[in-house]
Chain A
Amino acid sequence: MSRISAPLRRHLAAVRAMLIFTVILGIAYPLLVTGIAQLAFKNKANGSLIKDASGQVVASSLLCQQYVDKSGAALPQYFQARPSDATDSSNSSDPGCDYSYSAGSNLGTDSASLKSTIEGRIASYAKAYDIDPTKVPEDAVTASASGMDPGISVENADDQAPSVAKARGIDMATVDQLVKDNTTGRSLGFLGEKYVNVVTLNLALDKAHPVAAAKS
């Protein structure tokens, strides 16, 4: 040992330390947690997946989906998620909520482009749901942080409900009940905000009141 110089010995110790810690903390630890997670909380650990009747995974209740046609226009028979900047920048027709590109707009409050984007969204929301432009819910015209946000505010859902009911030819009470069923209150009653989960709401709508157009 004494024939090795001190700096060399120190770096050899560092190499060995990093290798051992990589085995303990980088391999054993995540495997242990994965083992516990898969045994005890399999569905949650895999992403809170939702399957259809044939067993096919159709959604994660945690991640938003876009309900738009090929041209990017909103499908009226569905509740619309918040605007999403999670898009593949190399694909101009990517509607957002792209699982591989979580992101927000990152535009600041003095940004002219953010201003015009929001103005455009207010105008189209007001027109689509016949709402006074000054009363458009804030969450409906601002992009979420992750671009994966499956939640919308209760006001936003209430504004959209008549249009969804009309497109599906069902009465408002039915839609309102489904909105209520898919609303999550604050965690423990005081943490965060109340929201309506668009993904589970739309799946519930499709299950209870399917429309032919939904398949297009």
Chain B
Amino acid sequence: MSDTWAGLLQVAALVLLLAVSYRPLGDYMAHILTTKKHSRVEKVLYKTMGVDPEADQTWGTYLRSVFAISAVGVLLLYTLLRVQHHLMMALGMPKVNADLAYNTAASFVTNTNWQNYSGENTLGYVAQATGLAVQNFVSASVGIAVVATLIRGFTRNRTDRLGNFWVDLTRVLIRLMLPFSIVFAVILVACGTVQSLGDHMTVVHTINGNQSLYTGGTASQEVIKLLGTNGGGIFNANSSHPFENPTAFTNLIEIYLLLVIGFALPRTFGKMVGSHKQGYTIVSVMAIIWLGSLIFSTFFEVHHHGINLADGHAALEGKESRFGIPASTLFMTSTTLTSTGAVNSWHDSYSPFGGGAAMFNMMLGEIAPGGTGSGLYGILILAIVTVFIAGLMVGRTPEYLGKKIRPTEMKYAALYILTTPAVVLVFTGLAMALKGETASISSGNLGPNGSPSPHGFSEVLYAFTSMCNNNGSAFGGLSGNTHWWNTAGALAMMFGRFLPMIWVLALAGSLAKQKPVPETEGTLKTASPLFAGMLLGTILLVVGLTYFPALSLGPLAEGLH
């Protein structure tokens, strides 16, 4: 089979798997988020937590509950990392430094999973499984809970109640994440991903001496790392490591896992608002961006195939031989368009436009399909902006799904859109202005006089884009494990996660209070190819253009040079 056909079939197989999952998974998630019945297990859990599952919360209470579990999560994970040398199966690893522990705790609670730690020589098995993996589950489920309130904002009328955070969280964890994870963890092990909690196994190598093997709960953590669009690797090399991702088949399964919830959530949205067409409109925009970006990066990587030292290109640098280029760009596109950030190849070594595409994918706000929950609320906010712009053109009060988009709603939407770029660009500017901090750029990417090359600037821009959008992938040459980078990074991740959540919940609260407006002749049809096209244009113009000046200093300067 020719390389081109194999590459195309690979994409086709993935699209088929996702398409087959769209309806059942989307409908199932809608059921989880709307049913009135509590299972027996859940009742016990609510009792132990001391919460009343029947209480309906206002947006403010819901938000404070999100903050409460996140604050407790940061403290708990920080503590676990600081005392890991006292835990079982610590493998003799010392406690994690204070600033690295803080950065890692913030990273996992915000669903970013930026890796300043290097798993196999920093963390014991218990710290990984009870610390990192638990936050993988929880942070992913918090995202879905928050988007549920935004959807309820559209479906509920004249109320200030948006649901119960504890119920949403528990159900997503127990009914969705856990069973899915068990099934896929076993599939991964069957294909070669490791899962062994025994002590370091010694491998006797006749030539280079003995080596210790790190295994741990890799398969169980790998699944939720991807399913929950988290991305923090068990190993430093993340999903390029053969113990995490042993074959091209597991590679396909892993890409499927990181996309499946994001692509099925529009179905959940359509089902809850009572119009599947609304869901199809949103999912089609997601799919177009995903496919477009995939074609773009694959073209540039394949185009630069071979070693061209005059151009400095060597496309296989930082890629695995069992995956090759198509399976690497497929992973790269999917991981940066969701908030996953797991990598099976190093984005730092991609061609300038290939790596630039990874950055641009995150800059769009990770909405195609985005992180679990966060992708859908991101694109719904852009849909609101789109109806607003369309309303301005025809001079009518904009409406979306029977709710008026008034100045209040627009303020929250605008705040949402402005927050992330502001944090990304301010932190990038700050890092570049601080001479001591640009020293973290990998020395190979510094110019002759020690000033950063365009690629060096890209490392910094990529870092803050990734942290603030809660992605977690990196141009890994940057040494982020320093006081300044650990601290600034943790702040960027928290701002990038929680500020937008405030605007989303406030918006949901404001929408739910309205009474519905009946659809008339003049109402803009939001379930149509025309609207999908307008939404696509808004995404590219409003969000994409914000970063154009910064991109032109980094990947564009490098690629056109």
Contacts and interface: CB of A to CB of B under 8 A. Distances in A.
A158 interface: no
B327 A191 contact: yes
Contacts of A41: 189-190
B205 A59 contact: yes
Contacts of B194: 44-47
A107 B6 contact: no
Contacts of A144: 240, 318-321
B312 A114 contact: yes
Interface residues of B, number: 124
Given A139-B321, A145-B344, A37 B219 contact: yes
Q: Which of B45, B217, B320 has the most CB of A within 10 A?
A: B320
B558 interface: yes
B51 A67 contact: no
Nearest to B5: A190
Contacts of B185: 33, 37
User: Chain A interface residue count: which class?
Assistant: 35 or more
A11 to B, nearest CB: 5
A128 interface: no
A12 B190 contact: no
B208 A101 contact: no
Contacts of B174: 24
A110 to B, nearest CB: 5
B434 interface: no
A118 interface: yes
B247 A106 contact: no
A18 B79 CA distance: 13
A26 B131 contact: yes
Interface string B49-69: 111000000000000110011
B296 interface: no
Interface in A183-201: 184, 186-193, 195
Contact of B186 (A36, A65, A106): A36
30 contacts: A7-B64, A13-B50, A13-B68, A14-B68, A21-B137, A29-B178, A29-B220, A36-B189, A40-B186, A46-B198, A47-B196, A100-B212, A101-B118, A105-B317, A106-B475, A108-B355, A108-B455, A108-B558, A109-B311, A118-B317, A141-B314, A142-B319, A143-B317, A146-B242, A153-B321, A187-B252, A190-B9, A191-B247, A192-B248, A192-B249
8 shortest A-B CB distances, which residue pairs?
A: A192-B248, A193-B324, A145-B240, A26-B130, A102-B237, A151-B321, A106-B477, A108-B455
Given A17-B166, A17-B170, A108-B444, 15 more contacts: A20-B45, A29-B182, A33-B217, A34-B217, A46-B196, A108-B475, A108-B477, A111-B312, A113-B444, A118-B307, A142-B319, A145-B240, A146-B235, A186-B6, A190-B10
